[in-house]
Amino acid sequence: MKKIEEYAEQISRCSHCSYCQASCPVFMEDIVESVLPRNRIEVILRSVIDKSMPLSPRALEIIDRCLLCTNCTQGCSSQVPIDDIVIAARSAISMQTGGLSGVKNLVMGKMLRQRGLTALMGKAGAMVQKVGIATKDMPPLAAKTFDKFYSGTVKAEGETRGRVAYFVGCGTNFMYPDTGVATVNVLSRNGIEVIIPEGQVCCGIPSIAEGDFKSAREMIEVNVSIFSDLEVDAIVTDCTSCGMMFKEKFTKVLETADPLQEKISNLTSRVWEVTDFLNHLGLREIPGPMDSSFTYHVPCHRAWSPTVRHAPRQILTQIPGAEFRELENPERCCGAAGAFYMAHRELSEGIRAHRVQDIKDNGADLVVTQCPVCRFYIGSALKEQGTEIVHPMIMLARAYGFNGC
């Protein structure tokens, strides 16, 4: 893992062009340049790296007020890896100050490292309530987690066209098993055998967001040992953030000399977001007609695949009768960012309000997005108007006639 000090050179590459004013959702909401990515990394340089300024409460706040959405990094022509710099700074800070607070530690550290501990989730919920976070802010927990629906191997229907291993993210496992059920069924219907390995754990992205590299490494180790030796054409995930973690962040979290590095490079080349994967392969059979309009909210964590942002549009417009309506600013952040919205309520709700307005103006019957946190966060604001938001695989599954998702 690159130490924060090693980023000093890249920070100095910032040209001060200020173009990140057009990409950072936090800046656009606050409209104050203190939280502009350019200043955020400058604060990191001075208060964490060269220590020419103290690490004041305001400095911490500026470092904390970042969604890690990667929009700045995607738009920066000087290629400053701003989100990596913020992550490394948080890691350095958490090492200095002795780690995470109680609730976060419980949720991040324990629950996500071990699957099947749904009870813990309830306990975390209770604690979260105690510290004043309303339950409506908590993601809905599925009565039956995805690992109770499927594990092991699901055979392809008809002639087998390929074989994939399915990495089931926490969002799908705990909150939205319907995405997983849809994914398995749609893949199988399209001639793909799906292996759902047991023992897989969280991808680790919530931990690196807090700068907790130690927990992240433990999770990476488990997942790498499970996935790297499988004889499959691809490792698919339904979640764009898990995909980014596998594809881009694994190698950055580990030390350069870490023995896991080699296994990772062999593994990451085979990682796909499932809609993207299926779109590349091509649908075997055109699904049934669907008389509804839909729009697509593109998740922020999209840059790890050049095609992931086109896949839902391309694949779902093959459903006869489904009318696609492009959203205004399709790539605008929704403000949730993992658990960020719980700690920065006002800010996140402000960011979300724009996204929700775009969706209202658009007027489509259905919104699709590949990120479970976007689905939850946007979805909870869309409830009253009755617009549904689901994973693209769910829409596709419905078109194929699967009930129950």
Residues at the contact surface with ligand SF4, assessed by CB under 6 A: 14-20, 23-26, 37-38, 40, 66-72, 76, 78, 80, 82-83
In Å, what is the CA distance from 248 to each residue of 81, 130, 162, 267?
12, 36, 25, 11
Q: Which stretch binds another protein (CB under 8 A): 15-23, 330-338, 358-366, 390-398?
A: 15-23
**Residue 325 binds to another protein (criterion: CB under 8 A):** no
Phi then psi for residue 69, to 5 deg, are: -80, -15
**Residue 157 binds to another protein (criterion: CB under 8 A):** no
What's the rounded Cα separation, in Å, for the pair 91 and 99? 9
DSSP reduced 3-state for 389: strand
**Residue 79 binds to another protein (criterion: CB under 8 A):** yes
**Residue 256 binds to another protein (criterion: CB under 8 A):** no
In Å, what is the CA distance from 208 to each residue of 93, 216, 220?
12, 6, 11
Radius of gyration in angstroms for the set of CA atoms belonging to the chain, rounded to a whole number: 21
Q: Which is nearer to another protein, 13 or 148 (CB)?
A: 13
The minimum distance between CB 25 and ligand SF4, in angstroms, equals: 6
Q: Which stretch binds another protein (CB under 8 A): 1-9, 56-64, 108-116, 312-320?
A: 56-64
The minimum distance between CB 16 and ligand SF4, in angstroms, equals: 5
Question: How many helices and strands (H and E) does the chain possess?
Answer: 22, 9
What's the rounded Cα separation, in Å, for the pair 309 and 307? 5
Q: Which is nearer to another protein, 18 or 265 (CB)?
A: 18
**Residue 44 binds to another protein (criterion: CB under 8 A):** no
Fill in the DSSP letter of residue 113. Answer: T
The minimum distance between CB 37 and ligand SF4, in angstroms, equals: 4
- From another protein, ligand SF4, none, interface partner of 37 (C-beta below 5 to 8 A by class): ligand SF4
Amino acid (one-letter) located at 270: R
- From ligand SF4, another protein, none, interface partner of 83 (C-beta below 5 to 8 A by class): ligand SF4
Candidates 31, 119, 143, 257; binder of another protein (CB under 8 A) is 31
Q: Which is nearer to another protein, 43 or 399 (CB)?
A: 43
The minimum distance between CB 65 and another protein, in angstroms, equals: 11
Sheet containing 366-368, strands listed edge to edge, beginning at the edge strand earlier in sequence: 323-324, 293-296, 366-368, 388-390
Start-to-end CA span in the chain (Å):
40
Candidates 3, 5, 78, 357; binder of another protein (CB under 8 A) is 78
In Å, what is the CA distance from 17 to each residue of 7, 21, 42, 331?
19, 9, 14, 22
> In this structure, what token pair is assigned to residue 140?
């809905």
List binders of another protein among 291-320 (CB under 8 A): none
Q: Which residues bind another protein (CB under 8 A)?
A: 13, 15-19, 21-22, 31-34, 36, 38-39, 42-43, 46-47, 53, 56, 58-59, 62, 76-79
